[in-house]
Amino acid sequence: MLGPVVVDLEGPRLTDRERVRLLNPLVGQVILFARNFETPEQLSQLTGEIHALRDPPLLVCVDHEGGRVQRFRPGFSAIAPMSRLGGIWDRDVLGACRAALSTGFVMAAELRSRGVDLSFAPVLDLDWERSGVIGDRALHADPRVVSMLAAHLMQGLSLAGMASCGKHFPGHGWTSADSHHEVPIDSRPLDEILRQDAAPYRWLGVSLTSVMPAHVVYPKVDERPAGFSQRWIKHVLRRDLGFTGAVYSDDLSMAGARVAGDVAARARAALAAGCDFVLVCNDPDGADQVLTELSWQPSARFEHRLARMRPRGPAPDPGGLRRDEAYQAALRDLA
């Protein structure tokens, strides 16, 4: 049995304290950062050790979108910022769709070959040219283009056996504040947000495996950030937009999450709002506090959503991947 808590690691190798933490039944996934990576071979060893700790194995996740948010670099293909795909779309629609599919395939195949099960991608935020933290991470300003390119990127992920995670619901692109450091406010009305920023979540439908809400407050909808809001998650996302996949909180250590109390209170609030999984990063003491204080019971619905996040099929062999014709063709298509 795996639990709802997603934790991180301090360095490129597991410590004894981390091994004990990962054996806690409330832990279900591990998120890696650049500090956990030295070489592709070291990454394989680390993910192998993580997977061997539990049966069924813990899921290993990463933010590996491309551009400035690509945690692993030496030995991995350089993935362009997602805005590059939007730029291609403006002059060659079909070329952009092919490049998006190939980007997702290369990303997922390379990560899976080193034991990483999930990348938190694609970014579905619109490029309003207002948010520094989003910026070139966004595919385009038009929600229709974002949806089409994201659908092809997700198809590429799926071809390599990887699930997807759309973020940051319902949209982080309008507000200029960075939720890592403060609480962003988006004062637009609900109908405007649904018509623009949240539209890709409706259009992508059941193909979207999971969603990560934004640590943004939309005061005309709810006084709480979206990741702590039953109205946003249970009513808008699930009831109105028909989303059936998993919901991950964004990192509960970010400033945008502190309005919900201490880290254990944030975890409880996120789960009560409808999140299936909660991320606690860059705060090992906070992670231990959550694991000590959180009371949680699994459900059949949770197990079903967790199962959808697992990779499908055998992971490619790193050496064989370099000789794979489909992989080589996809490399030539990268933006």
Q: Give CA–CA dist 106/89, Å, rounded.
A: 19
Q: Which long-range contacts (CB under 8 A, 24 or more apart) does 107-110 make?
A: 107/64, 107/66, 107/77, 107/79, 107/156, 107/157, 107/160, 108/156, 108/157, 108/159, 108/160, 108/161, 108/162, 109/160, 109/316, 109/321, 109/324, 109/327, 109/330, 110/76, 110/77, 110/321
Is residue 250 annotated as a catalytic residue, yes or no?
Answer: yes
Euclidean distance between the first and the last CA atom of the chain, given in angstroms as a whole number = 40
Q: Give CA–CA dist 229/221, Å, rounded.
A: 9
Q: Across the beta sheet with 278-280, what order do the strands follow? A: 118-119, 59-62, 27-32, 5-8, 278-280
- Which residue among the candidates 125, 127, 250, 276 is catalytic per the annotation? 250
- Which residue among the candidates 180, 181, 262, 304 is catalytic per the annotation? 180
Is residue 180 annotated as a catalytic residue, yes or no?
Answer: yes
CA-nearest of 28, 50, 71, 64 to 278 is: 28
Residues noted as catalytic: 180, 250
